[in-house]
Amino acid sequence: MAILYLSGGRCILRQVFSGLPSMLQRPYSLDVSAQLLRTEGFIDGRWVSAASTFPVLDPATGEEIAKVSDCGTKEAQDAVNAAYKAFHLWKSHTAKERSILLRKWFDLIIQNREDLAKLITAECGKPMKESIGEMTYSASFLEWFSEEARRVYGDIVAPSAKDRKILLLKQPVGVASIITPWNFPSAMITRKVGAALAVGCTVVVKPAEDTPLSALALAELSVQAGIPPGVFNVVPCSREKTPAVGELLCTDPLVAKISFTGSTATGKILLRHAAGTVKKVSMELGGHAPFIVFDSADVDKAVAGAMASKFRNSGQTCVCSNRFLVQSGIHDAFMEKLAKAMDAELKLGHGSEPTTTQGPLINARAAEKVEGQVTDAVAHGAVIVRGGKRLEGSFMQPTLLSNVTTDMLCMREETFGPLIPVVKFNTEQEALAIANASPVGLAGYFYSRDISQIWRVAEQMEVGMVGVNEGMISATEASFGGVKQSGLGREGSKYGIDEYLEIKYMCLGGLSP
């Protein structure tokens, strides 16, 4: 049962549950500013209703949080048209003017960080501590790109002829379609939109159907920051309407750029859509990160890194470690300490509980996938060291498996859940062969205190990002992206802004030498 009411300008959702695990058998509240709990689409600076709505659910309980406008191709087309119209005005703003507005948006996010985090926990399920962390991370991209906006430099090139000058100008590509996932419903938007708006592009955001509330709250704060109408548009839609809306956003001739974060399979579909009009694309796609522990590693640090890398957001990040490879000389000590750390540090529960470290998976399908990988592994000889059970709803016990082999399903496909399968290996060459035997290459991690080995392995790992003796590698200042089928382009860092720029060559001739 859920009751929504207003109190002092705040929206409060009271939820009372029965028939659920004991950790959820009490009332939960979503208490946020009424201004931030938006449920309509945002197009051309206006809140727009659609003909129908779709429910947003708390993944911990399955209860409805809100009904959101189910935008279709008409609303998506309206948003593209609005963004195209606004582009011609927005690009004429000076870099300093755009920088100031992005900074105001950043300041507002920091001021409203707790309420925004509550929305993430409600619709995504992650613990509040992690949601607060995401909002800090999300805001940092607007801060970073507000600063980078004034550092978009072209070039003056020495010509081969005396009667001319060669200039290389950088200009915004135009309207960008931004299609984002549910696991970081705020940060995946700002990492793309911050760069786009900084250089003069306008955007249409299609958030994941599971987590539209965070995107709409960002839209509200963009208005308060003074971002002009049409520059930032949000088109939420249901799972049923997503294919048609996504196709329009990738094929409309007014759209010049597509930026997508999600699965490799969906990315390939969007690339095919984009090919018809040869659009500029950025794709941050699936990962299957190896986590290698060599005999030379500090075991305690490796265990801490494994805990951080695997169990953040209950294992639902694209850079989570998936395939754990531990050298034979250190294997038993690592397994013993990792099992003890899981016992001591991990606590399942609703994300709003202060003691919770592991929330639910996003939905039942996600839990079924992890359960299926565990069942497959056990059927092929793996041993459950910790966990292994599917709980009610979309909760899954954090699970540690030993005696894992490379032919098991968990070693061949991305998990996106709280599962650690451990393979024992003997040589460095063996570990690298297993680590690189994947069609994707987003992130990879390894622990070693041998400096020569560190250089060898870091250079040979076929990934776009490497964590050496570190399990948490994401940073605003660093480039984010993968190789092979993990995507195209880079986000964040000074390079992320280039994804929204074109280089124009200007030859000024007829000059008197």
CB 39 within 8 A of CB 225: no
User: How far, in whole angstroms, is CA 337 from its chain's centroid?
Assistant: 30
Q: Measure the CA–CA gap between 378 and 406, rounded to whole angstroms.
A: 13
Using the CB atoms, write b or e for 20-30: b if 16+ within 10 Å: bbebbeeebeb
Burial of 2 (0-12, 13-18, 19+ CB in 10 A): middle
The alpha-helical segments, DSSP class H, found in 259-363 are 264-275, 299-311, 331-345
Residues in contact with 470: Cβ distance below 8 Å, sequence separation at least 6, in sequence order: 305, 445
Q: Which of 318, 414, 428, 491 is catalytic?
A: 318
Cβ atoms within 10 Å, residue 462: 17
Q: Measure the CA–CA gap between 293 and 296, rounded to whole angstroms.
A: 8
Residues in contact with 320: Cβ distance below 8 Å, sequence separation at least 6, in sequence order: 287, 289, 309, 310, 312, 313, 415, 416
Q: What is the DSSP letter of 252?
A: -
Q: What is the DSSP letter of 228?
A: P
In this structure, the dihedral spanned by the alpha carbons of residues 435, 438, 441 and 444, taken in order and rounded to 10 degrees, is -20
Q: Is 201 assigned a catalytic role?
A: no
CB 346 within 8 A of CB 357: yes
> Token match 């984010």: residue?
480
- At 18, which amino acid appears? S
Taking the alpha carbons at both ends of the chain, their separation in whole angstroms is 81
Q: Is 284 assigned a catalytic role?
A: yes
Q: Which of 123, 209, 284, 353 is catalytic?
A: 284
What secondary structure, in 3-state letters, does 363-415 show?
CHHHHHHHHHHHHHHHHCCCEEEECCCECCCCCECCEEEECCCCCCHHHCCCC
The alpha-helical segments, DSSP class H, found in 57-207 are 73-90, 95-111, 113-124, 128-148, 187-199
Active-site positions? 284, 318
